[in-house]
């Protein structure tokens, strides 16, 4: 009896084994699918962001809740940024420091030339000396900084220190001791309202 009984119209339960043609058809289809995926991959991959380029992130910070003498920490591009509301006494002390006494004489301010001096006026925006904005990572090995009064109870809060290697930074974010050799960077920022700053855009 053949695979199909012509007298009854009932198919035999036994199917014929796959042929070479069936095998070649399956293999050709598989290779075609893989080849198509490889051909489309460059188009798909170019839509992904460049991993070497940081995201164009900005951060708005409301300054109203920050009392004089207080620091808040906000996240920007995966980094902690200190926003300090300095008192008039803190500003005066920071401005009385001679640049010649600093380990790093450069401002490290994204809004200024690389060789701008590290006097206090170059660490803040013109006309707004009460607001200090700096990246809160030690410039030695990138450890997160802590307030100085955390290790010196009763101190007047003269700045920040690195708990790993004891680097110290003043209330202008300038290195004053320890293994760190450069000042804390001042990120690009601007006032977009009387009491709101935008970090990430000068």
Domain residue ranges of the chain, discontinuous segments joined by +: 1-48, 59-199
Q: How confident is the model at residue 194 (pLDDT cuts 50, 70, 90)?
A: very high
Average pLDDT of span 9-25: 62
pLDDT (mean) for 81-100: 96
- Per-residue pLDDT averaged across 158-167, rounded? 89
Beta strands in 77-164 (DSSP E): 79-85, 131-135, 146-147, 159-161
Say whether pLDDT at 176 is over 50.
Answer: yes
Share of the chain above pLDDT 90, in %: 63
pLDDT score recorded for residue 42: 66
Whether residue 165 lies in the annotated active site: yes
- 40: part of which helix (H) or strand (E)? helix 20-45
* Alpha carbon distance 192, 112 (integer Å): 19
Cα 37 from Cα 60, distance rounded (Å): 42
Q: Answer whether residue 41 shows pLDDT above 90.
A: no
Order across the sheet with 168-170: list the strands. 146-147, 159-161, 168-170, 175-177
**Predicted confidence band of residue 4 (pLDDT cuts 50, 70, 90):** very low
pLDDT surpasses 70 at 78:
yes
| pLDDT at residue number 131 | 98
Taking residues 53-58, what's their average pLDDT?
Answer: 67
The dotted CATH code for 59-199 is 2.102.10.10
């Amino acid at each position: 009896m053949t695979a199909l009984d012509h007298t009854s119209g009932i198919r035999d339960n036994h199917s014929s084994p796959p042929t070479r043609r069936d095998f070649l058809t399956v293999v050709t289809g598989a290779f075609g699918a893989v080849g198509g995926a490889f051909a489309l991959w460059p188009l798909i991959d170019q839509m992904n962001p460049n991993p070497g380029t940081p995201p164009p992130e900005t951060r708005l910070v409301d300054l109203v809740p920050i009392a004089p003498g207080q620091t808040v920490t906000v996240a920007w591009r995966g980094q902690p940024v200190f926003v300090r509301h300095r008192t008039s006494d803190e500003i005066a002390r920071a401005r009385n420091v001679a640049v010649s006494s600093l380990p790093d004489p450069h401002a490290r301010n994204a809004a200024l030339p690389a060789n701008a001096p590290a006097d206090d006026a170059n660490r803040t925006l013109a006309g707004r000396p009460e607001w200090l904005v700096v990246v809160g990572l030690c410039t030695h090995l990138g450890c997160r900084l802590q307030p100085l009064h955390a290790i010196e109870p009763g101190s007047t809060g003269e700045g920040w220190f690195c708990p790993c290697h004891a680097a110290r930074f003043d209330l202008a974010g300038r290195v004053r001791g320890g293994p760190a050799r450069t000042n804390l960077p001042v990120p690009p920022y601007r006032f977009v309202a009387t009491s709101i700053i935008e970090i990430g855009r000068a």
